[in-house]
Structure 1
Amino acid sequence: MEETIELQEEMEIMRCVFGIDVSKDSISVAIVIDQTMFKETKLPLNRDGFRKLEEALQSFNNPEVVFEATGVYSRRLQRFLDDLGQDYTCLNPLVAKKQLDGLRPYKTDRNDARHLAETQFIMNRAVTYKISPVYRKLMDFSRFYQEVSKDVATHKNRLHRSLQLVFPEIEHVLSNTNNELYWSVVS
Protein backbone atom coordinates (compact mmCIF):
# COMPACT_ATOMS: atom_id res chain seq x y z
CA MET A 1 0.00 0.00 0.00
CA GLU A 2 2.76 2.44 0.95
CA GLU A 3 4.70 1.47 -2.20
CA THR A 4 1.68 2.35 -4.35
CA ILE A 5 1.35 5.77 -2.69
CA GLU A 6 5.08 6.43 -3.10
CA LEU A 7 4.90 5.38 -6.77
CA GLN A 8 1.95 7.73 -7.37
CA GLU A 9 3.77 10.61 -5.67
CA GLU A 10 6.87 9.87 -7.73
CA MET A 11 4.78 9.86 -10.94
CA GLU A 12 3.34 13.27 -10.03
CA ILE A 13 6.83 14.72 -9.53
CA MET A 14 8.12 13.39 -12.86
CA ARG A 15 8.25 15.91 -15.68
CA CYS A 16 7.01 14.66 -19.04
CA VAL A 17 7.57 16.49 -22.34
CA PHE A 18 6.09 15.60 -25.74
CA GLY A 19 8.26 16.92 -28.57
CA ILE A 20 6.27 16.88 -31.81
CA ASP A 21 7.55 17.46 -35.33
CA VAL A 22 4.69 18.19 -37.74
CA SER A 23 4.91 17.21 -41.41
CA LYS A 24 2.42 17.37 -44.25
CA ASP A 25 0.59 14.14 -43.37
CA SER A 26 2.20 12.83 -40.16
CA ILE A 27 3.63 13.81 -36.81
CA SER A 28 6.73 12.43 -35.13
CA VAL A 29 6.29 12.28 -31.37
CA ALA A 30 9.10 11.92 -28.83
CA ILE A 31 8.14 11.45 -25.19
CA VAL A 32 10.88 12.38 -22.72
CA ILE A 33 10.44 11.82 -18.99
CA ASP A 34 12.89 13.49 -16.64
CA GLN A 35 15.43 13.99 -19.46
CA THR A 36 15.27 10.29 -20.46
CA MET A 37 13.81 9.16 -23.75
CA PHE A 38 10.68 7.12 -23.00
CA LYS A 39 9.07 6.51 -26.38
CA GLU A 40 9.19 7.65 -30.00
CA THR A 41 6.44 7.12 -32.53
CA LYS A 42 5.12 8.39 -35.82
CA LEU A 43 1.39 9.05 -36.15
CA PRO A 44 -0.75 10.07 -39.12
CA LEU A 45 -2.05 13.63 -39.08
CA ASN A 46 -5.69 12.54 -39.05
CA ARG A 47 -8.44 11.54 -36.62
CA ASP A 48 -6.86 8.16 -35.80
CA GLY A 49 -3.47 9.74 -35.13
CA PHE A 50 -5.02 12.42 -32.93
CA ARG A 51 -6.94 9.77 -30.99
CA LYS A 52 -3.68 7.91 -30.27
CA LEU A 53 -1.96 11.16 -29.31
CA GLU A 54 -4.82 12.00 -26.95
CA GLU A 55 -4.49 8.59 -25.27
CA ALA A 56 -0.76 9.14 -24.85
CA LEU A 57 -1.25 12.65 -23.42
CA GLN A 58 -3.89 11.43 -20.96
CA SER A 59 -1.65 8.64 -19.71
CA PHE A 60 0.68 11.21 -18.12
CA ASN A 61 0.09 13.76 -15.42
CA ASN A 62 0.29 17.32 -16.79
CA PRO A 63 2.50 16.68 -19.85
CA GLU A 64 4.19 19.56 -21.66
CA VAL A 65 3.86 19.73 -25.44
CA VAL A 66 6.40 21.47 -27.68
CA PHE A 67 6.20 21.78 -31.46
CA GLU A 68 7.38 24.03 -34.25
CA ALA A 69 4.89 26.10 -36.27
CA THR A 70 4.80 24.72 -39.80
CA GLY A 71 2.06 26.82 -41.33
CA VAL A 72 -1.18 25.09 -42.23
CA TYR A 73 0.08 21.66 -41.14
CA SER A 74 0.69 22.62 -37.51
CA ARG A 75 -2.66 24.42 -37.40
CA ARG A 76 -4.45 21.06 -37.27
CA LEU A 77 -2.36 19.97 -34.29
CA GLN A 78 -2.85 23.34 -32.61
CA ARG A 79 -6.63 23.12 -33.05
CA PHE A 80 -6.64 19.57 -31.67
CA LEU A 81 -4.67 20.63 -28.58
CA ASP A 82 -6.91 23.68 -28.07
CA ASP A 83 -10.04 21.50 -28.27
CA LEU A 84 -8.45 19.09 -25.80
CA GLY A 85 -7.63 21.94 -23.40
CA GLN A 86 -3.95 21.00 -23.47
CA ASP A 87 -1.35 23.73 -22.96
CA TYR A 88 1.49 23.76 -25.48
CA THR A 89 4.49 25.69 -26.67
CA CYS A 90 4.42 26.53 -30.36
CA LEU A 91 7.83 27.73 -31.54
CA ASN A 92 8.55 30.14 -34.34
CA PRO A 93 10.52 28.16 -37.00
CA LEU A 94 13.46 30.59 -36.93
CA VAL A 95 13.68 30.44 -33.12
CA ALA A 96 13.49 26.64 -33.21
CA LYS A 97 16.24 26.47 -35.84
CA LYS A 98 18.54 28.67 -33.76
CA GLN A 99 17.84 26.68 -30.60
CA LEU A 100 18.35 23.28 -32.23
CA ASP A 101 21.12 23.94 -34.78
CA GLY A 102 23.95 22.76 -32.53
CA LEU A 103 22.10 19.60 -31.51
CA ARG A 104 21.06 18.05 -34.79
CA PRO A 105 23.79 17.18 -37.25
CA TYR A 106 21.26 15.04 -39.13
CA LYS A 107 17.95 16.84 -39.56
CA THR A 108 15.11 14.34 -39.55
CA ASP A 109 11.56 14.52 -38.22
CA ARG A 110 12.45 11.99 -35.53
CA ASN A 111 15.55 13.93 -34.41
CA ASP A 112 13.65 17.23 -34.41
CA ALA A 113 10.92 15.80 -32.18
CA ARG A 114 13.48 14.34 -29.80
CA HIS A 115 15.52 17.54 -29.57
CA LEU A 116 12.44 19.73 -29.08
CA ALA A 117 11.50 17.58 -26.08
CA GLU A 118 15.03 17.36 -24.66
CA THR A 119 15.72 21.09 -24.91
CA GLN A 120 12.48 21.91 -23.10
CA PHE A 121 14.14 20.70 -19.88
CA ILE A 122 16.99 23.17 -20.41
CA MET A 123 15.13 26.17 -21.83
CA ASN A 124 11.81 25.94 -19.99
CA ARG A 125 9.97 27.64 -22.85
CA ALA A 126 6.80 29.52 -21.96
CA VAL A 127 3.36 28.20 -22.82
CA THR A 128 1.96 29.75 -26.01
CA TYR A 129 -0.76 32.33 -25.56
CA LYS A 130 -3.99 31.00 -27.06
CA ILE A 131 -5.84 33.29 -29.42
CA SER A 132 -9.62 33.11 -29.57
CA PRO A 133 -10.86 31.35 -32.74
CA VAL A 134 -12.76 34.51 -33.71
CA TYR A 135 -9.56 36.57 -33.65
CA ARG A 136 -7.68 33.86 -35.54
CA LYS A 137 -10.33 34.01 -38.30
CA LEU A 138 -10.12 37.79 -38.35
CA MET A 139 -6.34 37.59 -38.69
CA ASP A 140 -6.71 35.10 -41.57
CA PHE A 141 -9.28 37.33 -43.30
CA SER A 142 -7.06 40.38 -42.82
CA ARG A 143 -4.06 38.54 -44.28
CA PHE A 144 -6.17 37.39 -47.24
CA TYR A 145 -7.46 40.95 -47.79
CA GLN A 146 -3.89 42.28 -47.80
CA GLU A 147 -2.86 39.65 -50.36
CA VAL A 148 -5.81 40.49 -52.63
CA SER A 149 -5.12 44.23 -52.31
CA LYS A 150 -1.48 43.68 -53.20
CA ASP A 151 -2.49 41.55 -56.22
CA VAL A 152 -4.92 44.25 -57.43
CA ALA A 153 -2.20 46.92 -57.16
CA THR A 154 0.26 44.69 -59.03
CA HIS A 155 -2.22 44.03 -61.85
CA LYS A 156 -3.11 47.75 -62.11
CA ASN A 157 0.59 48.61 -62.40
CA ARG A 158 1.08 46.00 -65.15
CA LEU A 159 -1.94 47.29 -67.03
CA HIS A 160 -0.72 50.88 -66.69
CA ARG A 161 2.72 49.89 -68.05
CA SER A 162 1.14 48.07 -70.98
CA LEU A 163 -1.17 50.99 -71.75
CA GLN A 164 1.78 53.38 -71.67
CA LEU A 165 3.47 51.28 -74.36
CA VAL A 166 0.40 50.85 -76.58
CA PHE A 167 -1.62 54.04 -76.03
CA PRO A 168 0.35 56.60 -73.99
CA GLU A 169 -2.07 59.46 -74.74
CA ILE A 170 -5.03 57.73 -73.05
CA GLU A 171 -4.47 59.59 -69.79
CA HIS A 172 -4.54 62.94 -71.61
CA VAL A 173 -7.80 62.11 -73.43
CA LEU A 174 -9.74 61.41 -70.25
CA SER A 175 -9.07 63.21 -66.99
CA ASN A 176 -10.47 60.52 -64.70
CA THR A 177 -8.79 57.12 -65.18
CA ASN A 178 -10.94 55.34 -62.65
CA ASN A 179 -14.41 55.25 -64.20
CA GLU A 180 -16.44 53.15 -66.63
CA LEU A 181 -15.90 55.44 -69.62
CA TYR A 182 -12.14 55.17 -69.26
CA TRP A 183 -12.28 51.36 -69.11
CA SER A 184 -14.70 51.23 -72.06
CA VAL A 185 -12.25 53.24 -74.19
CA VAL A 186 -9.36 51.02 -73.05
CA SER A 187 -11.35 47.90 -73.95
Structure 2
Amino acid sequence: MKHVIALDVSKGKSTFAIYDRYKQCELEGELTHTRIDFERLHHRIEEMTVLDKQAPEIVFEATGIYSKPLEKFLATKGHTYCRMNPLEANLQMAKMRRHKTDISDAHELAKTHFSMAREATY
Protein backbone atom coordinates (compact mmCIF):
# COMPACT_ATOMS: atom_id res chain seq x y z
CA MET A 1 0.00 0.00 0.00
CA LYS A 2 1.04 3.57 -0.54
CA HIS A 3 1.14 6.57 1.77
CA VAL A 4 -2.06 7.90 3.35
CA ILE A 5 -2.68 11.58 4.04
CA ALA A 6 -5.57 12.15 6.43
CA LEU A 7 -6.91 15.61 7.19
CA ASP A 8 -9.23 16.86 9.90
CA VAL A 9 -10.76 19.96 8.32
CA SER A 10 -11.96 22.96 10.29
CA LYS A 11 -12.54 26.65 9.60
CA GLY A 12 -9.57 28.03 7.67
CA LYS A 13 -7.17 25.18 8.48
CA SER A 14 -6.68 21.44 8.50
CA THR A 15 -4.78 19.19 10.85
CA PHE A 16 -3.03 16.39 8.99
CA ALA A 17 -1.27 13.08 9.58
CA ILE A 18 0.81 11.29 6.96
CA TYR A 19 1.30 7.54 7.29
CA ASP A 20 3.63 5.32 5.28
CA ARG A 21 2.80 1.89 3.88
CA TYR A 22 3.94 0.30 7.16
CA LYS A 23 1.22 2.20 9.06
CA GLN A 24 3.79 4.41 10.77
CA CYS A 25 3.22 8.13 11.15
CA GLU A 26 5.82 10.08 9.18
CA LEU A 27 4.55 13.58 9.80
CA GLU A 28 1.75 15.43 11.52
CA GLY A 29 0.91 19.08 11.62
CA GLU A 30 -1.40 21.86 10.62
CA LEU A 31 -1.93 23.57 7.31
CA THR A 32 -3.82 26.79 6.82
CA HIS A 33 -6.09 27.02 3.81
CA THR A 34 -3.79 29.40 1.96
CA ARG A 35 -2.12 29.17 -1.42
CA ILE A 36 1.34 28.78 0.18
CA ASP A 37 0.35 25.85 2.42
CA PHE A 38 -1.63 24.17 -0.37
CA GLU A 39 1.44 24.42 -2.63
CA ARG A 40 3.57 22.84 0.13
CA LEU A 41 1.06 20.00 0.38
CA HIS A 42 1.10 19.58 -3.41
CA HIS A 43 4.90 19.41 -3.38
CA ARG A 44 4.83 16.75 -0.64
CA ILE A 45 2.23 14.74 -2.59
CA GLU A 46 4.48 14.85 -5.67
CA GLU A 47 7.48 13.68 -3.60
CA MET A 48 5.50 10.73 -2.23
CA THR A 49 4.26 9.87 -5.73
CA VAL A 50 7.83 9.67 -7.00
CA LEU A 51 8.97 7.68 -3.96
CA ASP A 52 6.12 5.13 -4.07
CA LYS A 53 5.63 5.22 -7.86
CA GLN A 54 1.97 5.91 -7.10
CA ALA A 55 0.03 8.79 -5.61
CA PRO A 56 -0.78 8.77 -1.89
CA GLU A 57 -4.36 8.24 -0.80
CA ILE A 58 -5.93 11.38 0.64
CA VAL A 59 -8.88 11.17 3.02
CA PHE A 60 -10.92 13.76 4.93
CA GLU A 61 -14.41 14.33 6.30
CA ALA A 62 -16.76 16.60 4.38
CA THR A 63 -17.35 19.64 6.58
CA GLY A 64 -19.63 21.76 4.44
CA ILE A 65 -18.11 25.06 3.42
CA TYR A 66 -14.95 24.50 5.49
CA SER A 67 -13.73 21.63 3.28
CA LYS A 68 -14.49 23.43 -0.02
CA PRO A 69 -11.07 25.17 -0.33
CA LEU A 70 -9.29 21.84 0.21
CA GLU A 71 -11.53 20.09 -2.32
CA LYS A 72 -11.00 22.84 -4.89
CA PHE A 73 -7.23 22.65 -4.45
CA LEU A 74 -7.17 18.85 -4.82
CA ALA A 75 -9.45 18.93 -7.88
CA THR A 76 -7.45 21.73 -9.52
CA LYS A 77 -4.19 19.83 -9.05
CA GLY A 78 -5.78 16.57 -10.25
CA HIS A 79 -5.35 14.67 -7.00
CA THR A 80 -7.74 11.84 -6.22
CA TYR A 81 -9.20 11.96 -2.73
CA CYS A 82 -11.79 10.31 -0.52
CA ARG A 83 -14.30 12.78 0.94
CA MET A 84 -16.11 11.00 3.73
CA ASN A 85 -19.54 11.54 5.15
CA PRO A 86 -18.94 12.72 8.76
CA LEU A 87 -21.40 10.22 10.21
CA GLU A 88 -19.69 7.33 8.41
CA ALA A 89 -16.26 8.53 9.55
CA ASN A 90 -17.42 8.83 13.17
CA LEU A 91 -18.84 5.31 13.12
CA GLN A 92 -15.62 3.88 11.66
CA MET A 93 -13.43 5.70 14.15
CA ALA A 94 -15.63 5.19 17.22
CA LYS A 95 -13.91 1.93 18.15
CA MET A 96 -10.46 3.52 18.08
CA ARG A 97 -11.02 7.00 19.48
CA ARG A 98 -9.75 7.71 22.94
CA HIS A 99 -9.47 11.50 23.09
CA LYS A 100 -11.25 13.71 20.57
CA THR A 101 -8.87 16.31 19.19
CA ASP A 102 -8.15 17.51 15.66
CA ILE A 103 -4.83 15.67 15.52
CA SER A 104 -6.25 12.44 16.95
CA ASP A 105 -9.05 12.57 14.36
CA ALA A 106 -6.49 12.89 11.56
CA HIS A 107 -4.54 9.92 12.94
CA GLU A 108 -7.66 7.78 13.30
CA LEU A 109 -8.80 8.59 9.75
CA ALA A 110 -5.40 7.48 8.45
CA LYS A 111 -5.35 4.28 10.51
CA THR A 112 -8.87 3.25 9.52
CA HIS A 113 -8.10 3.99 5.86
CA PHE A 114 -5.70 1.04 5.79
CA SER A 115 -8.51 -1.39 6.66
CA MET A 116 -11.53 0.21 4.96
CA ALA A 117 -12.45 0.00 1.30
CA ARG A 118 -13.31 3.63 0.63
CA GLU A 119 -14.41 5.03 -2.70
CA ALA A 120 -12.45 7.85 -4.31
CA THR A 121 -14.25 11.15 -4.87
CA TYR A 122 -13.95 12.85 -8.24
User: Does TM-score exceed 0.5, indicating one fold?
Assistant: yes
Q: CA deviation at 1:74?
A: 0.4
Q: Does 1:51 align with 2:51?
A: no
- 1-side partners of 2:77 and 2:63: how far apart? 20
- 1-side partners of 2:76 and 2:100: how far apart? 31
Query: Per-residue CA shift, 1:26-48, capped at 9, x if unaligned?
Result: 11110000111111011111112
Matched residue, 2:2: 15
Residue type of the partner of 2:96? L
- 1-side partners of 2:47 and 2:16: how far apart? 15
Q: The residue matched to 2:48 in structure 1 has which SS? A: coil
More helix per residue: 1
Asked which structure has the greater CA Rg, the reply is 1
Q: CA deviation at 1:124?
A: 2.8
Identical aligned residues as a percent = 40
Matched residue, 2:93: 100
Relative contact order, higher structure (CA 8 A, sep 6+): 2
Q: Which runs of 5+ in 2 are unaligned?
A: 50-54
Cα root mean square deviation, aligned = 1.0
Question: Which moves more between the two structures, 76-85 or 14-23?
Answer: 14-23
Q: Does 1:42 align with 2:30?
A: yes
Q: The residue matched to 1:28 in structure 2 has which SS? A: strand
More strand per residue: 2
- 1-side partners of 2:115 and 2:84: how far apart? 15
Matched pairs, number: 116
Query: Per-residue CA shift, 1:57-110, capped at 9, x if unaligned?
Result: 111121100000000010110110000100000000110110111111211110
Aligned residue runs from structure 1 range 1-187, under 5 A: 15-34=2-21, 35-61=23-49, 62-128=55-121, 130=122
Q: Which runs of 5+ in 1 are unaligned?
A: 1-13, 131-187
- 2-side partners of 1:19 and 1:124: how far apart? 15
TM-score, normalised via structure 2 length: 0.90
Q: CA deviation at 1:125?
A: 1.1
**Stretches of 4+ aligned residues off by more than 4 angstroms:** none
